[in-house]
Amino acid sequence: MNALSVETPNYVLLDHAQRIGPEMLALDSGKKCIAIYGFSDKPQYDAFCKKSELELTPYPLVKGYLQNRLEVAGDTILIIVIDPAGPNEPTLDAATMQSVLEAQQKQLPQVTVSYRLTKDEHSPAYHVTECACGVPMRLHG
């Protein structure tokens, strides 16, 4: 089975000065996972904004931000949720910040999905599942 590719994100949404992303559940492995929402183009972030109660502002997803986050990440898994339709979707696809940075540096139109996020039944947070060749594998979270 082939890996799923999606359009490389170029924008984030800011709530005041903060990049927004889904709440993540802790992983059993002890690793922390942090996600932000990333959007490939204006129609995608406009659709998201219509479903959000926050007053959001689009902002370019810049290489410097990604590089700085990666330099201080340590064991933290850093991911970007690609083109979510809204803030409460049952499942979301995500790529690593590293792969998005590399796609931006090489000016690649697409990036490979590395993670699937699934909404928890009992909280507003998401479980993280690692994807291998398009086949999800559970990451104990």
Residue 38: partners with Cβ closer than 8 Å, 6 or more residues away: 9, 10, 11, 12, 61, 80, 81, 82, 83, 100
Instruction: Give the tens place of pLDDT for each residue, 45-99.
Output: 999 999 999 999 999 999 999 999 999 999 999 999 999 999 999 999 999 999 9
In which domain, by residue range, is 48 found? Answer: 5-138
- Position 79 scores a pLDDT of 96
Whether the pLDDT of residue 16 is over 60: the answer is yes
Amino acid at 13: L
What is the dihedral sign for C-alpha 93, 97, 102, 104? positive
Beta pairing, strands 135-138 & 126-132: antiparallel
Rounded to whole angstroms, the Cα distance separating 82 from 69 reads 18
Q: What pTM was computed for the model?
A: 0.89
Cα(106)–Cα(21) distance, rounded to whole angstroms?
25
What is the side-by-side strand order in the sheet with 33-38?
33-38, 77-82, 91-96, 115-119, 126-132, 135-138
Contact 9, 50 (CB under 8 A): no
Place of tokens 């803030």: 87
Distance, CA of 127 to CA of 117 (rounded, Å): 6
Tokens (6 digits) for 96: 């690593």
What's the mean per-residue pLDDT of the chain? 89
Q: What's the domain count of the chain?
A: 1
